[in-house]
Amino acid sequence: MTSAESGAGLLAPGWAGSPAASATSDSAYLRALLDAEAALTRAQAGLGLVPEEAATAVTAAARSGRFDVRDIALRARDGGNPVIPLVADLTKAAGQEYGPYVHRGATSQDILDTATMLVAARTLDLLLADLERTQEALARLAARHRDTVLPGRTLTQHAVPTTFGLKAAGWRSLVLDARDRLRAVRHGLPAQLGGAVGTLAAFTAYGAEDPTALVAAYARELGLRAPELPWHTLRTPIADLAGALAFAAGALGKTATDVLTLSRTEIAEVAEGAGGGSSAMPHKANPVRATLIAAAAQRAPQLAATLYGSLAAEDERPAGAWHAEWEPLRDLLRLVGGAAHDAVQLAECLRVDADAMREHLGLTHGLIVSERLAARLAPVLGRARAKELLTEAARRTRAEGRTLAEILADHAELKDVDLDSLTDPVQYTGSAGALTDRALERS
């Protein structure tokens, strides 16, 4: 089996073929590992610790196409990580004269952690672009349906009316929350450089008077943040990334879950622009994008939990805790990157059936506005009498199939009350419009 075949995503339609799939592939990780090694040599050259020619030679040698990912993966079993065989290959590729400057002073975790931050940064850039497109589409949806009324549902049942504009504005608010959290994490991703136990001792041995200056130069070469301390067993960057990704999955999952509910055949208030087919039922148009996003939201918390568990890492370099991070973190990046990509299509192509929403407002024959009637009739009849009357009217509405307005019209004490207006669901959306407008002011 080739490396490409093993990472094709046959059982992962949520991220297969997405920008995140490419950005987190084995080839992408190899590219990041080589970038980290080359940047270290250039940073040392910039401070006069190695010859400029060495930086040029190592950078030229660090072309991912000349290295066999599969071979490195298999040889990684001997030392427990892919940096060890890669350093051997890169040293050979740099030549006899400059090979000794490869990886000088670093430990394997320095390179793999730094490469992970590069992969995360490159993936997050793609993911953030998709979140931006999603929030823009949801903003248009919310504005277009600012006053489109539909039943609000609580505990699966009709509650009081709301608007689809407010619902879409709520979806957008969560997407913006996810964007802001991921953006903050992206800007804070640090390089890793500490040497064997995080003391930078080897760099001093190689002539660095101020190894922290080397750390700063290394981070600049990579476009990452310079850390205050080596973070070999101080895994805040990983935990923050895990938390932001898991939140983003859940934020997108809220939209997907609502779409799945509202697109049920017996509800059909929304539909995906291009539903998926069925292998057995030609009539099906399944909400595939929402399904895949919901699946990502189901998996993300457990992956993040593994990464949080790795915070308890012993000593100055851990056995197992660090190694346990690699696959779940890549899975998280892939899952959320794929979900964000699917969310763009979901939001941009979502079809809204305002007529179905309006029709469903009448399913309870006016009972959906009983809250309003209770508030408005209490001053007229007294609170106790209003509650008694409405309770009985609700029972009769359900039993007789007549509207609440018709039942209430039987009561002479309400002859001066405009029951048609009071029982019109469209006229009972509270501040939904104003709330939608307020939400859309957020950039």
Sequence-distant (6+) residues with CB within 8 A of 296 are 14, 249, 252, 253, 335, 336, 338, 339
* Rounded Cα–Cα distance for residues 88 and 267 (Å): 61
Structure-token pair, residue 61: 């040698």
Structure-token pair, residue 38: 């080359």
Longest dimension (CA), the chain: 104
Burial code of 72-85, b = ≥16 C-beta within 10 A, e = fewer?
A: beebbeeeebbbbb
Helices (H), 145-210: 164-188, 201-205
* Rounded Cα–Cα distance for residues 247 and 304 (Å): 10
* Rounded Cα–Cα distance for residues 372 and 233 (Å): 58
* Rounded Cα–Cα distance for residues 408 and 369 (Å): 13
Q: How many CB atoms are closer than 10 A to CB 153?
A: 16
* Rounded Cα–Cα distance for residues 35 and 29 (Å): 10
Residues serving a catalytic function are: 278, 317
In DSSP notation, 113-154 reads: HHHHHHHHHHHHHHHHHHHHHHHHHHHHHHHHTTT-EEEEEE
- Cβ atoms of 244 and 208 within 8 Å: the answer is no
Structure-token pair, residue 139: 């903003």
Sequence-distant (6+) residues with CB within 8 A of 34 are 62, 63, 64, 67, 86, 90
First to last CA, the chain: 47
- Cβ atoms of 218 and 250 within 8 Å: the answer is no
Nearest alpha-carbon partner for 26 in 74, 84, 94:
74
